[in-house]
Structures are given as structure tokens and as C-alpha cells.
Structure 1
Amino acid sequence: MFHDLDETLKAMLDDAAAPTELRAADVSFDTPDKDYKPTEATVNLFLHEVTENRSLRDEARVLARAGDVYTSRLPSLRVDCTYLATAWSSQAGGLRAAEEHRLLGLALQWLSRFPVVDERFLRGSLKTPPQPYPLPAVVAQTQEGRSIGEFWSALGVSPRPAFPLTVTVALEPYDEVEELPLVQEVHLRSTLVDHPVLRGVLFDKSLAPVPAAAVSVVETGAQATSGPDGEFVVPGLEFGTYTLTVRASGRPDEQVAVTFAADHQTQTVVLSGP
């Protein structure tokens, strides 16, 4: 992925609309330490920090329709990739400084045109499959409390003009995808608070309705029979917790605990047997 991001940034700097001097410069991703001595005008983009962007973290699962099912997966990981941009010249004395400053200024001006990386620049895994989000790019902004001098000290070289470039990419570290059936029908069943009635719907493990099943309330002996859509009604009960015994042809008897309340008058019962 990082190699593909390198190639993407190189494509941005090599674009036909970029300044001529910028396009003519070499683009390097090497570490600009004391041994780094390019032999031609070079824009160096050194990837020195990779951190999760927690402000863009999304805890919600991602739902997508695929034919007759919905897929559910964990959200993408958003990662900030921060480069340090510097310009290098092979000339000497004042000519070197002039060329480096000019080249660095052109790079800053050009990259600032793209608050979001244009899709035409994307390479490799950043292009196929497509990124789930656009790639924001932030130029010349440092984190509070950070000093660029500390960076050069760590490399053991004298400080030089530079600016940071941060591109946020999405990673897909999770390969677990859950498939959910497409909702075929929605049934609305009304209830009355003043005249409560225990209602329920019987389903088997495949969520198909279970018709003609005998439903009895263990605590009161009240009985009902489920209809073609698996629905049953037991009137005359007080609010409370009850145990229902379900007897259906070709299935073992099952007992299910339900809580009957003013705001919970309709029960969905999924039988566990075959």
C-alpha cells in the first residue's frame, strides 16, 4: 500500500499540468540522512510517520446490498501517512540554495491544489479496488507540540527547508463479512394499552411461519392455535412473565418464557427444534 501511495504522489508531481521545473526534477522516497546526496535536482518525499486517524473512526458497521442479501462488515481503518517534503540540488553555494528553494516552493504550490487526491493519480491498490473514501491531503501543517528541528536532529544532519504532507488512506484489515437476508415483507400489528392482549408469531429456525401449532400458557392453562402466518392470540392475561408450551405436528414440544407488558404485547417466538 505504501508503495502505491508513493507512486500516486509521484504521478501528481509528474502531471502534465505541473510546473515544468517540477516535472523535470527527480522524485525520491529515500531517507534524507547524512549519506543522502542526489546527483540531480530532486524532490524528496520521506514517509516518516503512519498513525490511525481517530477523528475519522466510524464504529458503525458498513451495510451494502449484494443481490438478494445485505452484507455487513466492520468499518475501514483510516490511516494518516505523513511525508516530509524537501528539495535537493547538485549545484554549489548560492545556486544550490536558490534551486532548492524554488523547487520546494513549486512543490508546495502544486500539491496545495489537491485537498483531495484526484482519482486519476491513484495507483495500484489505491485504485483497484477503489478506495471507499476520497483521499484527503493536508499540506504544510504540523501537529501541535512537534518541532521539525527534532526530526533533523534524529537524522544527524543540519536543518533544511521542508514541509509535511499528510495523505489519509483507508485500510481493510478485516475479512469477516456477514450476510443478512433481504427483508421481503413488513407486517404491522396494533395493540391497545387499555385492552391488552398477548399476541405472538411462531417461526422455525429458517424464519418460516409455523401454522396450526397449539400454544398453551403454563401458569393459567389458556390456549390458542397459530394461524397460517404463525400468529396466535391469548386474551385475558395480566401483565407478567409466562411460560408458553408450543406443540406443533412433527416437532417436539418446546417451552418458551415471555414477558407480557404494556409496551411489549407482541412476542416473536423462534422455535429451536427441527
Structure 2
Amino acid sequence: MSAPEPDENGAQQLLVVIDPVARRTDGESVRIAKDVLSAGATAKFCLPDGPAEFARVLARRGSRRPVVVGDDRALLRTVALLHRERDLSAGALSLVPVGVSVDLAHSLGVPTGAVAAARAVLDGVVRRLDLLVDDSDGVVLGDLRIPAPPGADGQPGRGGGPGGPGGSSVWDTCRSLVRTLVKPVPQVLAVHTHRLRVEADGVVLSDLDDPVETVTVRSRGGRAEVVIRTRSSAEPITASALSVTVSGADFRYRADAAVTGPVRTRTWTLQAGAWGLTLPAGLSPSGD
């Protein structure tokens, strides 16, 4: 790990890109982050209105170190853009997590408070992290799960009708009354399985004739850690590899905060130490 380098005058040169979702959801945290960063570095602040302008601003950063103020989706967007530019290895990325979904940022070791995260940008050290890259040039920073959990695409689940979760209606009241008067019939929860072929470094771990419940993949210590749960065995199948291929019937998968699919085949390749993230000194991401 190494500390971010200042310019010739001793001040760090930052390009701070503030995601529009962060500005809408938590303007106070955005203001705090701007104050802390302005006090400790020479910072240029950019407020893009959408993903296209976000990409243009990032592409024109020059020698400034990019700092993203936003949630997990903003972090993923930034890493994906830098990966497509083949510029991830050139420097380090910093993040001040602001928004509703910041679990990924926290799991990587970034403080979730605006003050602590902004101070880590200024005083932290750069840690090289692994990256999973698929054959469509998509990236995974944290966990990959196949198939995607029900409702993971953001579609409303049960109780997610007009008015949103928690909204009351006459029908909600009637259903609650019926549930109190009628004894529910015991139900057995069905476990959905999928016919998938899973390979790790070309070795078949699970084939189409053994239905799969879930496949999870995550980077750990320079390798891709694979865990497969099948219908035929109570014990999971595990492996460590540099590439993982899943194929079979149409399936969807959740990579970090995004759901992709349906696809019939996909290969993920691990790139060890592919990108740098500024973290508090002495702090490692959880799971290491």
C-alpha cells in the first residue's frame, strides 16, 4: 500500500465528481464532504447531471486523482469506465459513500460517514484490490451470485403495489383481518434449482444433470473463490480458480448491485490487484 502523491506544491490535486443521486438523497453529507476535501487539498468539483456527463467528466480528469461522492452504483460505474479506458492500473480511486446503498463500499473498507471517508481520501493509503472481469467487459468488485435472488432487479415484490412498501389501503386492512381469523395452511417452501454447468479453470465442478441451487463467486487473495450448492448434496462444492465459466439454460446473475441477464454462458476472469482504492491507513476490507 502507498499514500497518494501530492503535486509539486505539496497539495493533492483532486477531481471530485458528485453523483446526482447523492445530491438528491443526502445534500448535507455532500456539503460536509466538500468542506473537508476543500480544506485539505486542491479540489475541482464537478456535478454531472447523468451517466453520460459523468463519463465525460471522468475522461477529462487529466492528472487529478478522481474522487467519487456517491453510492455503490456510482462506484461501480466509475470502475467500469476506468476499466474500459484500460486506465485502472494508472492510479487510485477514492470514494465518499453517500446514498441509500453503500454496503459494497463498506465491505471494501471505505468508512461510511462523510467526515471519516473524506479524511481517508486525504490521509489514507492506496490498497490494490482484485477485480472479476467477464467476457462482455463487465466488472465485479464484491460478490457474484447465480441466479439473481428474487426481487433483486428492483421490481416490487409482494406488498409493493401503488403507494410503495408500507402504504396502507382498504385491501391491506382486509387481508390483515382475514389472516387473524383464518388459521394458515402450513406450506413447504420450494427450493428452485437450475441446470447449469460450472467450470473453474476448465475443470467441470457441476454439470447439467445435477441441478444447482446457487453459485457464488468472489475474489479472495488473488483467486476467485467458487461455492456451488446443488440439490444432490448437503455439502457445497468449493474451488479456487483464476477463471469461472457458467453455462446452461437462460440465467440471470447479480454482480454487486446490478442484475444482468438472461444469458446462456458467461466467463469471469480474475485480475489480481487490478485497481487501487484509497482506504484508511491500517484498515483492510472485510473478508480478507
- TM surpasses 0.5: no
**Which TM-score bucket, shorter chain as reference?**
under 0.3
Larger Rg: 1
Q: TM-score, normalised by structure 1?
A: 0.21
Greater per-residue helix proportion: 2
Q: TM-score, normalised by structure 2?
A: 0.21
